[in-house]
Amino acid sequence: MNDKWNFSMDEKTMNIYRNLNEQIDKVFRHTRQGSIKTRYRYEDGMNHFAKFLAETFKKQNLNKIENKHLQAYVKQMQESGYSKSYITTNLSAIRFFADVRGGDSKKLSINKELGVLPRTREDRIGSNKAWNDTEVKRFIEYANNKNEFRYADMVNLSYSHGLRVHEVARLDKSQLGDALEKGFLTVNGKGGLIRSIPLSNKELVERLYKETKSGEKVFINKEEKTHKVINNLQVFIYNHNKEFRNSDKSLTFHGLRHAYSQRRYRELTQKDLMIIVQG
């Protein structure tokens, strides 16, 4: 199970996985606990866990999740390089699922007992996760070569405007039209905060505007679920990091926002220095 998102399954294992997914879908389709965003993330986490259970334990149902399953799952994720944040969130998803289904998640061991490694100073403070120009260009070229044109445009737009992945995914044609008219791209950000960003990649925005039908979203088709597209994009970036990164750091979509913030800081600092010098 080297690549837990895209590993090969024989027919028997695939049938087990489908059965587990049906159980997961039934639970999340009927529960209203937690926010929509949390439920989406937890459902993805459970689907990931189901892949592991199907391949490693051939487990037919999710009625009795035991510590041995979680310990092996944690070990596999850590060996594969998943972040501590991803691991702990998936464990939270499993506990959530157990409780909603009528079980008792308190019977499961705490993360430390399951072998989750403690957070390092870098985990707490954070390393420099920003993409550089070369990495962005390499990603765009790589994604286009793989016919993932949508992913290339989503990364490009985020890098040039500092957008979060959900802000990019929710964009519709009218927002691009307003941006071209007013010179600012306005989005509904985190916590419902409305913010306007100076338009800095007009050529890209113009092309996306022309390619998008009236009344539709830029990157999400009508038959698609937004959270699924977001997840697939993030997985694509994770799985293909080595194809475009310049160092050993693990690049994520959020790192594009880091890059934008650092770039804007440098621009504003230089502008202030010019004012001081000229003054």
Residue 213 has what DSSP assignment? P
Q: Return the pLDDT at 1.
A: 41
Q: Are strands 184-188 and 194-198 parallel, antiparallel or unpaired?
A: antiparallel
Residue 217 DSSP class: B
User: Do 37 and 31 form a contact (C-beta atoms < 8 A)?
Assistant: no
pLDDT mean over 260-266: 85
Q: Which of 43-47, 72-76, 115-119, 264-268 has the lowest mean pLDDT?
A: 264-268
Closest CA to 252 of 147, 168, 111, 155: 155
As a whole number of angstroms, the distance between CA 161 and CA 170 comes to 15
Give per-residue pLDDT as tens, 35-50: 999 999 999 999 999 9
Q: What is the DSSP secondary-structure string of 7-50?
A: ----HHHHHHHHHHHHHHHHHHHH---S-HHHHHHHHHHHHHHH
The radius of gyration of the chain's CA atoms, rounded to the nearest angstrom, is: 21
Residue 279's pLDDT band, with cuts at 50, 70 and 90, is very low
**Is the Cβ–Cβ distance between 165 and 254 less than 8 Å?**
yes
User: What is the reported pLDDT for 278?
Assistant: 46
Given a cut of 90, whether residue 133 has pLDDT beyond it is: yes
- Give residue 9's pLDDT: 79
Six-digit token pair at 129?
A: 């996760």
Domains plus CATH for the chain?
11-125 (1.10.150), 133-277 (1.10.443.10)
The Cα 128–Cα 121 span in angstroms is: 13
**Confidence (pLDDT) at 79:** 83
Residue 277 confidence (pLDDT):
41
Tell me the pLDDT tens digit for each residue of 146-195.
999 999 999 999 999 999 999 999 999 999 999 999 999 999 887 778 99
Greater confidence (176 vs 249) lies with 176
Which amino acid belongs to residue 43? E
Mean pLDDT (the chain) is: 89
Residue 127 has pLDDT above 60, yes or no: no
pLDDT score at 250: 85
Beta bridge partners of 194: 188
Q: Using 50, 70 and 90 to split pLDDT, how confident is the model at 143? A: very high
CA angle 91, 258, 165 (to 5 degrees): 60
> Would you say residue 142 has pLDDT above 70?
yes
pTM: 0.56
Query: Is the pLDDT confidence value at 82 over 70?
Result: yes
User: Mind listing the pLDDT tens digit for each residue in 47-73?
Assistant: 999 999 999 999 999 988 999 999 999
Question: Per-residue pLDDT for 2 more than 80?
Answer: no
